[in-house]
């Protein structure tokens, strides 16, 4: 066999390998495309908000000053409670904003009227949820800034401050201080519900008076308003 024939056969084998590799790539691309199409179809099918969830998300979106954080948390809560797969926050955020854009303002705004709400129970739930969500943001900031999770007394004090920003008729009930057994129970359940447990956040009881005073003062720049322990 001549050198030219040997070289030609080597080139043919290399070409066969390249063709086989390209075929595998095409097959892989086709499979991935089909999978993505199925995932998108599944997402469109079971990531469908109920009418009530869309309305609640839109109400929270408005109450929060057109920021989606509280509404995203609410929708994620509803999806978990109904056994849906977890969703990316950004995906939920887009659905929340779309829900608001599609909502009927003639229905939405009368509900938000604190003086004559057309659905006061729903509005009370919105304020309750938002207040508790804001409390979680406060705890996260304190933990990040100081490296410790605020103690129960500080959590209750912050909650009492936050609830004052809700309209009087829809203000979450005062829980009291740490000397009240019911308040301590509520704080514990709130931590478990919102993932703000001491087991998840670094905590310390060995603080100076200055540190405690600093923790007790809620930064005025972080405004918040609204929620009850029951979510509908």
Q: Which distant-in-sequence residues (6+ apart) come within 8 Å of 170 by Cβ?
A: 114, 117, 120, 123, 124, 127, 226
Number of neighbours of residue 124 by Cβ within 10 angstroms: 21
- Residue ranges of domains in the chain: 1-46, 47-112, 120-232
Q: Which two tokens stand for residue 102?
A: 């599609």
- Whole-Å CA distances, 128 to 45, 124, 160: 30, 6, 12
pLDDT in tens, the chain (232 residues): 677 777 777 888 888 887 887 777 677 766 766 665 555 554 444 567 788 999 999 999 999 999 999 999 999 999 888 888 788 899 899 889 988 988 888 999 999 999 999 999 999 999 999 999 999 999 999 888 877 778 899 999 999 999 999 999 999 999 999 999 999 999 999 998 887 655 445 444 444 444 444 544 443 333 333 333 333 3
Span between the terminal Cα atoms of the chain, in Å: 83
Give, for 94, the enclosing helix (H) or strand (E). helix 89-102
Contact 72, 56 (CB under 8 A): no
């Amino acid at each position: 066999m001549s050198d030219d024939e040997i070289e030609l056969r080597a080139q043919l084998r290399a070409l066969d390998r390249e063709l086989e590799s390209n075929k595998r790539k095409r097959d892989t691309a086709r499979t991935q495309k089909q999978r993505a199409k199925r995932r998108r179809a599944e997402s469109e099918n079971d990531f469908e908000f109920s009418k009530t969830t869309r309305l609640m998300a839109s109400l929270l979106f408005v109450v929060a000053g057109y920021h989606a954080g509280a509404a995203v948390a609410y929708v994620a809560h509803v999806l978990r409670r109904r056994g849906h797969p977890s969703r990316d926050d950004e995906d939920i955020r887009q659905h929340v904003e779309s829900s608001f854009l599609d909502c009927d303002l003639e229905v939405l705004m009368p509900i938000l009227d604190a003086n004559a709400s057309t659905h006061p129970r729903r509005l009370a739930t919105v304020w309750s949820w938002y207040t508790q969500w804001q409390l979680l943001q406060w705890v996260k900031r304190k933990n990040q800034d100081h490296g410790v999770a605020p103690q129960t007394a500080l959590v209750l004090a912050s909650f009492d401050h936050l609830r004052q920003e809700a309209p009087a008729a829809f203000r979450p009930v005062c829980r009291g201080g740490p000397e009240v057994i019911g308040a301590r129970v509520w704080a514990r359940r709130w931590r478990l519900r919102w993932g703000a447990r001491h087991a998840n956040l670094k905590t310390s009881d060995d603080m100076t008076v200055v540190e405690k005073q600093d923790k007790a003062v809620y930064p005025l720049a972080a405004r918040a308003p609204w929620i009850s322990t029951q979510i509908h």
